[in-house]
Amino acid sequence: MTQRRTDIRNVAIIAHVDHGKTTLVDCLLRQSGQFRDSQLAGERILDSGDLERERGITILAKNIALQHAGVKINIIDTPGHADFGGEVERVLRMADGALLLLDAAEGPMPQTRFVLRKALECGLKPIVVVNKIDRPDARSQDVVAEALELFLDLGADEQVADFPYVFASAKEGFATEDPEVPGDSMQPLLEMLLEHVPGPEVDVNSPLQMLVSQIDYSEYVGRIAIGRIQAGTIRSGQSLALMQESGQTEGKVGQLFVFDKLGRTETETAEAGDIAAVTGMEKIEIGDTLCDPS
Ligand code: GDP
């Protein structure tokens, strides 16, 4: 039997380069207040390669997680470039919703069409975030209309065409329902996200199934497989079956992580609906599935 989790949201972020994704995520993390000041010193968070190195683990896939109103929000970065063998789709499959971030002056750019189309194909209903409304040349309401045009152009159904939207200045640190009235925090965006992105629908009692969507690498632990757990529970140290294109092999989970703020924290178990990172399997590839051995 499936049930909907209410304690977590998995949301993909789709944006054209320079429309403010890094600034937005940075702002959300800062406002979530879960960081020591030293972690926030200097450069913007997603760009801070040194910080990542300091933590002993590289964050190639820029997933981050934050807590809001007792809910864990996993924000999944989508590749901005054209597809590599279904990469975009696999990443989007980890999410139950999407944020489409648009520059209030530039509006939707042709390059966002591809990822957006994939998101719609995956059944995601995007929330539109019109960012940079502080720009003197902002055309905030026009950009909402252009987003609608784009959705219709991509064949969106009525439900998707009736998308929720919010205005923001990631640079000044606020989201607001009225572009003429600046706010004082990102709260309106977070609330919209909790309301419109459904929690994962899961079957915790089924046997484990996890599709590998991203591979990360660390000198210390080797290959790190990242994916969403579709069904069941995964435990650190457990044996599992690794289903690959070339066939099935046996494997064993080394360390198990979930996303936490900028990085990852080790955990004993993770369950359906969680996005997890698993070490211990040197041959693992994107597109493989981890299953219960039985
Ligand atoms: P990304 O490529 O989508 O990650 O974009 P960045 O977050 O790096 O932002 C690109 C540029 O836009 C930077 O110079 C930011 O300072 C600027 N920017 C981001 N958000 C805002 C905003 O709300 N208002 C204004 N005026 N500039 C912004």
Could you read off the pLDDT of 152-177 as tens digits, one per residue?
A: 999 999 989 999 999 999 999 999 99
Is the CB of 261 inside a 6 Å radius of any atom of ligand 1? no
Is the CB of 134 inside a 6 Å radius of any atom of ligand 1? yes
| Overall average pLDDT of the 204-229 stretch | 90
Considering only the C-alpha atoms of the chain, give the largest distance between any 2 of them, rounded to a whole number of Å.
Answer: 61
Is the CB of 112 inside a 6 Å radius of any atom of ligand 1? no
Question: Quick check: 33 pLDDT over 80?
Answer: no
- Of 151 and 83, the one with more pLDDT: 151
Q: What are the backbone angles phi and psi of residue 144, rounded to the nearest 5°?
A: -65, -45
Which protein residue's CA is at the shortest distance from atom 22 of ligand 1?
132
Question: Quick check: 84 pLDDT over 70?
Answer: no
Atom of ligand 1 nearest to the CA of 16: 3
**How far, in Å, CA of 28 to CA of 90, rounded?**
25
**How far, in Å, CA of 168 to CA of 102, rounded?**
10
Q: Please give the helix or strand (H or E) that residue 218 lies within, else none.
A: strand 209-218
Distance 271 CA to ligand 1 centre (A): 35
Contact call for residues 193 and 8 (beta carbons, < 8 A): no
Is the CB of 169 inside a 6 Å radius of any atom of ligand 1? yes
- Residues 6 or more apart in contact with residue 136 via CB below 8 angstroms: none
Contact call for residues 223 and 230 (beta carbons, < 8 A): no
| Overall average pLDDT of the 18-43 stretch | 74
Is the CB of 19 inside a 6 Å radius of any atom of ligand 1? yes
Question: Considering the chain, what percentage of its residues have pLDDT values greater than 70?
Answer: 88
The best mutation among 16, 18, 46, 99 to test binding of ligand 1, ranked by most ligand atoms within 8 Å of the C-beta, falls on: 18
pLDDT at 78: 85
How does DSSP assign 83-142, residue by residue?
PSTTHHHHHHTT-SEEEEEEETTT---HHHHHHHHHHHHTT--EEEEEE-TTSTT--HHH
How does DSSP assign 134-169, residue by residue?
TSTT--HHHHHHHHHHHHHHTT--HHHHT--EEEEE
Question: Considering the chain, what percentage of its residues have pLDDT values greater than 90?
Answer: 69
How does pLDDT run across 222-256, given as a tens digit for each residue? 999 999 999 999 999 999 999 999 999 999 999 99
Total residue count of the chain as it appears in this document: 294
Which protein residue's CA is at the shortest distance from atom 2 of ligand 1?
18
Q: Which residue has the tokens 């939207």?
A: 165
**How far, in Å, CA of 177 to CA of 161, rounded?**
18
| Overall average pLDDT of the 104-125 stretch | 93
Distance 100 CA to ligand 1 centre (A): 15
Which protein residue's CA is at the shortest distance from atom 15 of ligand 1?
20
Question: Quick check: 55 pLDDT over 50?
Answer: no
Which protein residue's CA is at the shortest distance from atom 16 of ligand 1?
171
pLDDT band at 53 (very low <50, low <70, confident <90, very high): very low
pLDDT at 43: 43
pLDDT at 85: 62
